[in-house]
Structure 1
Amino acid sequence: MDIEFTFPSIEVRRHGQHVLVARLCTDLHGLLGRDAARDLALFVKKADRDPSVRAVVLTGSHPERFVGHADLAWLQEDGSVVPPLGRRVMSAVVWLALMLNSNPITRWVARRTPVQGALQLDDMHKTLNLMSTSSTIFVAALNGSALGLGAEIAWACDVRVMADGDYVIGHLEVLLGFAPGAGGTQRLTTLVGPHRARRLMLEGSPLSPAEALRLGVVDEVVPTSEVVQVGVRQAEILAARPQSAIGAIKRSVNAGITRGLRSGLRWERSEFLSSLPQREAQQIMLDYLSDTERDGELPVYRSGGYGSALARGRANGGEPELDPSPAPKLPDSATYGVQTVQFRSGSSWCRAWLYVPHHAGADSPVPVVVMGHGLGATRDLGLAPYAEEFADRGMAALVFTYRGLGDSGGHPRQILSMKRQLQDWDAAIAHAVSLPQLDSERMAIWGSSLGGGHAIATAARHPELAAMVAQCPFTDGVASALALGPGKSMALASPIVRDLVAVARRRPAVMVPIAAVPGGAGLMSTVDALKGMHALVPVGHQWRNEAAARSVLSVLGYRPGRSAHRIAVPSLICISTTDTVAPPKTAERQLRRSPYADVRTYEAGHFAFYVGAAFDQLVTEQAEFLEAHLRPDVRGAPTISASRGSDEQTP
């Protein structure tokens, strides 16, 4: 589910796959007013509902203030329409506001009466309570001072990182003639205890960064220039944990605080019992048991096991160490280098080859092409020659292998999930953006076969890309199944059913060949499939010609060609007129719907695109197309800030 995060008072950008950085756009003085509070409420609700968002980093737009405090004009105006009432009467007003706010019709009416202030306060409480109980992690990157409502927003976050300097955090409300109203009296008390909280609020005394750290109300104090970066790092660490467990822990802790020990323990029991059957928890426990049986030792007690679990966010024994596929050997005359790197994707990682021209650097970044392969294929099956041609022309290339295949991480293995592979594309793009020697404003993506379909779907979601190339693209699972014929398709029915039964019984996957003999039961069983795939495997390399049978269902329901009309970047589409794997007529019809697509056809088979004369023609035309749109001849072009991604290069 993709949810649009656009708000007048909040600047939102994605950082990698699962982290949002939200900058609260306060006014000239750093005050948070009525409109900004409404936007914050909508943003928190959307972040909580979007399963792709696992963590949010909140920071301020004012250079020295996270949130100065609430806009007093807002509070004064709403307060002036209600006559002075005693606490008992006002308690009844609050109760009435809660009732009115629970129904859309009565809410609309009540917002036009003097109780509107109580409704807005109820909305703020709901927002901060949701932050405290959501399965999404909230991190306060306090780029400056946070007083009053600013402090209350920070108290509702799970992690607080504060900038070092002449900044303060705390409650000044008593100095303005009123008490904290958005949970400050309760949340600060849980952080520092009732006596100290009461004294701080009665005096209106704020805390310096050092005092806040000593009392434990912030988790880290760092230089101002690093506060968002450190906040993102903390968010990524916690986002790697299973989300269902995160939510259960937060809700249980909150119940104990708000309802007392006995109620909190009852809440904890219910959360514990409801989290055990979750698919992610079950998989982690099964992996843990399997790894214990395999190694004869509990995974967290192995040397480095606990540290590895902390780094990954889960203790399922860790993935087996996989030797990286050796990077291609380059001639001494090569104008570029290549190294093996890895980047995080979801709860695991992808390995890749990074080709970079020798002249690239932070001061002279070069354009980059992110490249992914086809059905069950790894990067060492015919992609290196394309990447080498692009690199020789001054363009970097990041050639990655999907999770669960080859030397990339991911468990279980050999399961082809279109959703996970698209996540890998997003992670690869984020990694390329994070590298200072690469120019993220001159980025293209390149995909072949199924990877061509992924490139189409990814380009439709990433209008910031400069170009896209898709060759012999897979565009429609249904069309491919029909082209395969009913007999060959039905041959896969039995292994699919047996594999689904194995999933239900938590047994090993039932495998089928990725490329089978002609007419056999496999994902590809055309006359050229098996021979064509084996021809791409380099000497000394191994490729697992098998995938879980359930993968067929993911492929069958995948129809990336339908998103072609949404592509808004220059695209080169190279179609084989004799393609036996990806029906060419369907691909051509779908892709010509995009006004940005340059569709070209070639008299060469699906697997001929990687070798011989067809390859020579294709790589030349593709390189010229990329040169025209990425302009590798331009040195030192401006780049987008590396804060759009944070994966670090790993040799």
Structure 2
Amino acid sequence: MTTTPITRRTFGLAVGATAVLLNTGAFAMAESLTERSKPKSQKVSFPSGDGTVVANLYLPEGHDPSRRYPAVAVAGSLSSVKEQMGGNYAGELARRGIIALAIDYRNYGESSGAVRQYEDQSSKAEDLSAALRFLKARPDVKATGLLGICTSGGTALYTAATDANVQALATVAGFFSEPDFAAKMFGGQEGVDQRIAASRTARKRYEETGVIETILTYNPGDKTAVSASSSEYYFDKTRGGGVRSWRNEFAVMGWEPWIAFNPVEQAPKVKAPALMIHSDGAAFPDQARKVYNELAGPKELHWAVGKHFDFYDQADTVRQAADRVAAHFHSKLV
């Protein structure tokens, strides 16, 4: 375990990472989406909870302010930042005639928050709601939806379960945990109990000293990291690892809420039209099927081809997914 010199008064840039224990195999060389390939965006900010969310807003080419467009808030993997997979999909949706907003959750990236790198699904769900309120207030928006990639696929279910502004929902390579599943990932109840104890100890230390203890989010073969599996996307400087605001850190006090992450429980409350895109090579496909079966509203499950990280930035995979996601939102956000 490492300790970073982050205090309540320190504002650091955040990491982006997923916390799925998934070995995706060797990286197949293919064209990656890059910042240069995205449409131009404009930085915006808006209030959420006790702080501020910073986001990149992508407008369709030839945007006409007198028209009204479907609008979608987009977020990515556990502790990711808006310049990673969220930005990739927001840019692709803008190319397809949708206003798209890629966000930094509070405590990550450029957004506010004293407890940097801290995982909190209730806070994240509120940030997605705040993003929808921001979009809905624009005169060029006719309807609003959510797109969640990896962990934010699960987070989006929390928001969609309670927020009527989620008029349509899509997930790509979603990570859909529940407590029993988390226990399997972390070595049974003993592993869960150890992490929860560490979480509570770290929180007490933060409350007493302002110091945030962190561990590595990713470190192949390191069982003290959140994920010890191969995570090539985050270690490749031409991919997610090259995003300057990315930091490979996870606040230890976040273990308890992370283990409690339960989008499966939220699924029966989701009545908005939903599209799920997944594959046998993406994170835990049986969990994705389980969530799909539980969704209460109109739904579609598209079974694609690709490894988990292919859905983050590999051009062909992302563009094919974006085609389906955009078609879904154009048909539902009317």
Give me the TM-score of the superposition, normalised by structure 1: 0.43
What is the deviation of 1:321?
9.0
Aligned residues: 303
CA gap 1:583/1:542 in 2 versus in 1, 3 angstroms? same
**Using the alignment, how far apart are the partners of 1:429 and 1:509 within structure 2?**
30
CA gap 1:534/1:343 in 2 versus in 1, 3 angstroms? farther
Q: Which residue of 2 aligns with 1:476?
A: 177
Q: Which residue of 2 aligns with 1:344?
A: 47
- Which residue of the other structure, out of 605, 618, 627, is the alignment partner of 2:330? 627
Cα contact 1:380–1:538 (8 A) shared by 2 = no
Is residue 2:167 matched to residue 1:434? Answer: no
Q: Deviations over 1:568-624 (max 9, x none)?
A: 211101223233xx4321231232122422122234222121233432332222222
Cα contact 2:118–2:251 (8 A) shared by 1 = yes
Cα contact 1:368–1:443 (8 A) shared by 2 = yes
CA gap 1:435/1:583 in 2 versus in 1, 3 angstroms? same
Cα contact 1:499–1:550 (8 A) shared by 2 = yes
Q: Alignment partner of 2:227: what SS?
A: coil
Q: Deviations over 1:412-441 (max 9, x none)?
A: 2111111111111111111111222222xx
What is the deviation of 1:554?
0.4
Q: Which residue of 2 aligns with 1:574?
A: 277
Q: Which residue of 2 aligns with 1:460?
A: 161
**Using the alignment, how far apart are the partners of 2:179 and 2:279 within structure 1?**
19
Q: Which residue of 1 aligns with 2:310?
A: 608
Report which of the two has the higher share of helix.
1
Ranked by relative contact order (alpha carbons within 8 Å, sequence separation 6 or more), the top structure is: 2
What is the deviation of 1:499?
1.3
Look up the equivalent residue of 1:353 and give its one-letter code. Answer: N
Q: Alignment partner of 2:170: what SS?
A: strand
> Any unmatched runs of 5+ in structure 2?
1-6, 15-33
**Using the alignment, how far apart are the partners of 1:428 and 1:477 within structure 2?**
25
Q: Which residue of 1 aligns with 2:31?
A: none
**Using the alignment, how far apart are the partners of 2:61 and 2:97 within structure 1?**
9
Give the alignment's Cα RMSD to 1 decimal: 2.9
Look up the equivalent residue of 1:371 and give its one-letter code. Answer: V
Q: Alignment partner of 1:377: what SS?
A: coil
Look up the equivalent residue of 1:604 and give its one-letter code. Answer: G
Q: Which residue of 1 aligns with 2:219?
A: 516
Look up the equivalent residue of 1:514 and give its one-letter code. Answer: T
| Equivalences for residues 382-397 of structure 1 within 5 A | 382-397=85-100
CA gap 1:525/1:478 in 2 versus in 1, 3 angstroms? farther
Cα contact 1:443–1:465 (8 A) shared by 2 = yes
Cα contact 2:13–2:247 (8 A) shared by 1 = no
**Using the alignment, how far apart are the partners of 2:277 and 2:234 within structure 1?**
19
**Using the alignment, how far apart are the partners of 2:206 and 2:12 within structure 1?**
25
**Using the alignment, how far apart are the partners of 1:420 and 1:320 within structure 2?**
18
What is the deviation of 1:404?
0.8
Q: Deviations over 1:93-118 (max 9, x none)?
A: xxxxxxxxxxxxxxxxxxxxxxxxxx
**Using the alignment, how far apart are the partners of 1:321 and 1:482 within structure 2?**
31
CA gap 1:414/1:541 in 2 versus in 1, 3 angstroms? same
Cα contact 1:514–1:547 (8 A) shared by 2 = yes
Q: Which residue of 1 aligns with 2:299?
A: 597
Q: Which residue of 2 aligns with 1:165?
A: none
Q: Which residue of 2 aligns with 1:425?
A: 128
Cα contact 2:196–2:256 (8 A) shared by 1 = no
Q: Which residue of 2 aligns with 1:375?
A: 78
**Using the alignment, how far apart are the partners of 2:327 and 2:99 within structure 1?**
15
Larger Rg: 1 or 2? 1
Q: Alignment partner of 1:443: what SS?
A: strand
Q: Which residue of 1 aligns with 2:114?
A: 411
Q: Deviations over 1:341-366 (max 9, x none)?
A: 11111221111000112544553121
Q: Which residue of 2 aligns with 1:486?
A: 187
CA gap 1:380/1:479 in 2 versus in 1, 3 angstroms? farther
Look up the equivalent residue of 2:182 and give its one-letter code. Answer: A
What is the deviation of 1:446?
0.3
Look up the equivalent residue of 1:606 and give its one-letter code. Answer: H
CA gap 1:507/1:541 in 2 versus in 1, 3 angstroms? closer
Q: Which residue of 2 aligns with 1:451?
A: 152
Look up the equivalent residue of 1:456 and give its one-letter code. Answer: L
Is residue 2:63 matched to residue 1:353? Answer: no
Cα contact 1:381–1:538 (8 A) shared by 2 = no
What is the deviation of 1:551?
0.7
Decide which moves more: 398-407 or 428-437: 428-437
Is residue 2:293 matched to residue 1:588? Answer: no
Cα contact 2:153–2:174 (8 A) shared by 1 = yes
| Equivalences for residues 266-345 of structure 1 within 5 A | 287=8, 320=11, 328-329=35-36, 337-345=40-48
Q: Which residue of 1 aligns with 2:24?
A: none
What is the deviation of 1:329?
4.7
CA gap 1:561/1:494 in 2 versus in 1, 3 angstroms? closer
Look up the equivalent residue of 2:313 and give its one-letter code. Answer: V
Q: What percent of counterpart residues are identical?
A: 21
Cα contact 1:371–1:399 (8 A) shared by 2 = yes
Cα contact 1:379–1:400 (8 A) shared by 2 = yes
Q: Alignment partner of 1:470: what SS?
A: strand
Q: Deviations over 1:460-503 (max 9, x none)?
A: 21244331101222222424423424179467467435414413
What is the deviation of 1:454?
1.2
Cα contact 2:159–2:166 (8 A) shared by 1 = no
Decide which moves more: 534-543 or 560-569: 534-543
Cα contact 1:510–1:549 (8 A) shared by 2 = yes
Cα contact 2:155–2:263 (8 A) shared by 1 = yes
Cα contact 1:367–1:443 (8 A) shared by 2 = yes
Q: Deviations over 1:73-132 (max 9, x none)?
A: xxxxxxxxxxxxxxxxxxxxxxxxxxxxxxxxxxxxxxxxxxxxxxxxxxxxxxxxxxxx
**Using the alignment, how far apart are the partners of 1:493 and 1:522 within structure 2?**
15
**Using the alignment, how far apart are the partners of 1:597 and 1:603 within structure 2?**
20
| Equivalences for residues 74-113 of structure 1 within 5 A | none
CA gap 1:493/1:447 in 2 versus in 1, 3 angstroms? same
**Using the alignment, how far apart are the partners of 1:519 and 1:558 within structure 2?**
23
Look up the equivalent residue of 1:588 and give its one-letter code. Answer: R
| Equivalences for residues 167-316 of structure 1 within 5 A | 287=8
**Using the alignment, how far apart are the partners of 2:310 and 2:37 within structure 1?**
24
| Equivalences for residues 128-147 of structure 1 within 5 A | none
**Using the alignment, how far apart are the partners of 1:587 and 1:519 within structure 2?**
27
Q: Alignment partner of 1:461: what SS?
A: coil
CA gap 1:518/1:626 in 2 versus in 1, 3 angstroms? farther
CA gap 1:387/1:504 in 2 versus in 1, 3 angstroms? closer
What is the deviation of 1:540?
5.9
Q: Alignment partner of 1:577: what SS?
A: strand
Look up the equivalent residue of 2:298 and give its one-letter code. Answer: Y
